Amino acid sequence: MTASELTGAEPTGSTLTGTGHAVAVAHPNIALIKYWGKRDERLVLPFTDSLSLTLDVFPTTTSVRLAPAAEADAVVMDGVPARDERLRRVTAFLDLVRDRAGRRERAVVDTRNTVPVGAGLASSASGFAALALAAADAYGLPTEPRALSRLARRGSGSAARSVFGGFVVWHAGPVDAPDPDVASYAEPVGDARLDAALVAVVLEAGPKSVSSREAMRRTVATSPRYPEWVAASRAELVRMRQALRVGDLDTVGGIAERNALGMHATMEAASPPVRYLTDASATALDTVRALRAEGVGAWATMDAGPNVKVLCAAADAERVAARMRAATHARVVVARGGPGATLRAEAG
């Protein structure tokens, strides 16, 4: 029996030697207060705290198996061997894990996404959360959730949040922290009282033109609007947490939509500008506004891609989805709050 079987589905407990093989599942999360901009590129430390909802759709399943005889890591993504930048990112992440575990073995990584990769639907969040958990278990690093959140952050910032289920806040950590790597992690928003849904409008499933990494860099370095967005975001996070506590969806939705539009405005002001939103996104946004004008509580949020996610009450989700489908002719998926990253018992 492996350590993952012994510890069940919860990402807790660790072994001194590692299990050698682990399979983990993680879900994407959608930020309602965005992470946009790093104050430290190497450690992936953000300028601001962010707040998200982990979804119950589009899971990523990742297997990490140590291969003591291999000279290089082998990475397969959705059945296709990874190359170039994708392979480099996974290998760099495994190097970090090996370094911490004091191990040298290479690994075979097999990852399966159910979300379109690179289209601003948070595949990197579910991807690196699943990889962090599977690799930590296989190599014998601690898998308690806070340590795992810090580790996942190094792969992709938003992955720090996918370690947990439901509403999650990622603390940027104080700039003068003695160890800033330790001070920046995500944790659940324990007191959120909101039965919300996120309706994902999949306008484009292809990879994005500019990576979020490059777009953030450009925004921080050149957008005159960035400091203003950072200040607004900090205040919005405080107000959103209050609104979540009392289950005030109108306030949560209003803040989320403003925060996302502000993020897109700040990157459009960068040089050269970054524009992820398309005419199809504008149509989706107009539909969300029309729903509101009719008295349906619906608010939009967009990430590093043209796709639009609509926050609404769970009870309104099917009605909102039908309207979004009719207006955009896109694939529309209704998501609710989902679970944190878990180990699958089948590894051995």
Q: Which residues are at the interface with ligand PMV (CB under 6 A)?
A: 31, 34-36, 50, 124-125, 156-158, 212-213, 303-304
Distance CA 182, CA 205 (A): 35
Q: What minimum distance in Å lies between the beta carbon of 304 and ligand PMV?
A: 4
Q: What minimum distance in Å lies between the beta carbon of 276 and ligand PMV?
A: 9
Minimal CA–CA distance to 287: which of 205, 208, 201? 201
Nearest to ligand PMV of 44, 66 (CB atom):
44
Nearest to ligand PMV of 3, 302 (CB atom):
302
Minimal CA–CA distance to 48: which of 169, 218, 212, 178? 169
Nearest to ligand PMV of 152, 199 (CB atom):
152
Q: Which residue has the tokens 């149509």?
A: 283
Nearest to ligand PMV of 2, 184 (CB atom):
184
Cα separations in angstroms, 192 against 34, 84, 168, 315, 334: 18, 41, 9, 17, 20
Nearest to ligand PMV of 49, 316 (CB atom):
49
Nearest to ligand PMV of 38, 323 (CB atom):
38
DSSP letter assigned to residue 208: P
Q: Which residue has the tokens 């379109």?
A: 116
Nearest to ligand PMV of 143, 212 (CB atom):
212
Distance CA 324, CA 14 (A): 45
Q: What minimum distance in Å lies between the beta carbon of 41 and ligand PMV?
A: 11
Nearest to ligand PMV of 31, 300 (CB atom):
31
Q: What minimum distance in Å lies between the beta carbon of 99 and ligand PMV?
A: 21
Q: What minimum distance in Å lies between the beta carbon of 170 and ligand PMV?
A: 8
Q: Which two three-digit tokens encode residue 167?
A: 């509403």
Q: What minimum distance in Å lies between the beta carbon of 36 and ligand PMV?
A: 6
Cα separations in angstroms, 240 against 84, 89, 257: 40, 33, 12
Burial class (CB in 10 A: 0-12, 13-18, 19+), 80: exposed
List the beta bridge partners of residue 25: 61, 342
φ and ψ of 308, to 5 deg = -115, 135
Q: What minimum distance in Å lies between the beta carbon of 33 and ligand PMV?
A: 8
Cα separations in angstroms, 105 against 62, 76, 97, 108: 18, 18, 11, 10
Minimal CA–CA distance to 86: which of 99, 97, 73, 96? 73
Q: What minimum distance in Å lies between the beta carbon of 344 and ligand PMV?
A: 24
